[in-house]
Amino acid sequence: MKGLLIKDYKLMRSQNRFFIVVILVGIAMTLIGYDYTFITSYLSFVCSMFVLSTISYDEFDNGYAFLFTLPFKRNTYVKEKYVFGLITSGLAWLFGVVITTAFQLITHTPDFSMIDWLIAELMLMPALWVVLAVMIPCQLKFGGEKSRIAIFGAVGAAVVIGIVIVRICDFLQIDLAAVLNALPSMGIGTITVLLILIALIVLLISEKISEKIMAAKEF
């Protein structure tokens, strides 16, 4: 896995100008009045999506046929993509937190609470992980072009599932609004931990699906 991570890191280094532009755009948006959480979410999302570019590079010009002559298994390849996605998004998230915290302290934002701020930033991570959990198997299964259609289909399916859940709650006479209103009483910290655990479970399920996709590939 170490060799695969080094390969993807070198691919990432070849795009250093792109990342400089991304960072400058994020800082500029923050300076002109966007919410301070913007730069963290923006950088984390853009950097986490680079894992999809590495998959496209690997597939290009029948690259898999050469790549898998090297001494590693297909499930190792899949695991490396998830690890790489988590590392890139995590480093981008950390950089965004440092930058935005510095802005908060320099501008003397009133009622600034470091604990509340970190919890708010932590809540971005589950969303990023769920995005990775959807994008990576779609990219592995359908490739760059068809994966976009598959992702739209996944979003549509999520909407349909949400509607079905609401209908079931209505049928069972469960007050869904009351349940949602009761969530704040659990505390924002507890909710954040629950979201992180749910996102990790989704990520693990996604990784197993991706392993099956790669095992079935022929090239």
pLDDT tens-digit map of 4-42: 888 888 777 777 777 777 777 777 776 665 566 677 777
Query: Cα separations (Å) of 35 from 28, 31, 46, 111, 147?
Result: 12, 9, 17, 15, 31
Q: Would you state the torsion angle of the CA atoms of residues 113, 118, 120, 124, taken in this order, to the nearest 10 degrees?
A: 160
Q: Return d(Cα 210, Cα 79) in angstroms, integer.
A: 9
The arithmetic mean of pLDDT across residues 95-124, rounded, is 72
Cα–Cα distance, 191 to 171 (Å, whole number): 27
Closest-CA residue to 37 (of 89, 90, 104, 88) = 104
CB count, 10 Å around CB of 4? 20
Q: 89 pLDDT band (50/70/90 cuts)?
A: confident
pLDDT at 214 over 80: yes
- 10 Å CB burial of residue 26 (0-12, 13-18, 19+) is buried
Structure confidence by residue, pLDDT tens digits, 187-205: 666 777 788 888 889 889 9
The model carries a pTM of 0.77
Least confident of 114-118, 136-140, 190-194, 207-211: 114-118
Q: How far is CA 157 from the centre of its chain?
A: 19
- Judge whether 131 and 45 are in contact, CB under 8 Å: yes
Residue with tokens 């948006």: 29
CA distance 103 to 45: 20
Q: Which of 11-15, 151-155, 163-167, 191-195 has the lowest mean pLDDT?
A: 151-155
Site of tokens 């899949």 = 78
- Domain tally for the chain? 1
Q: Which residues contact 142 (CB under 8 A, 6 or more apart)?
A: 149, 150
The burial class, CB within 10 Å (0-12 / 13-18 / 19+), for 215 is exposed
Q: Which domain holds residue 196?
A: 2-216
The three-state secondary structure class of 32 is coil
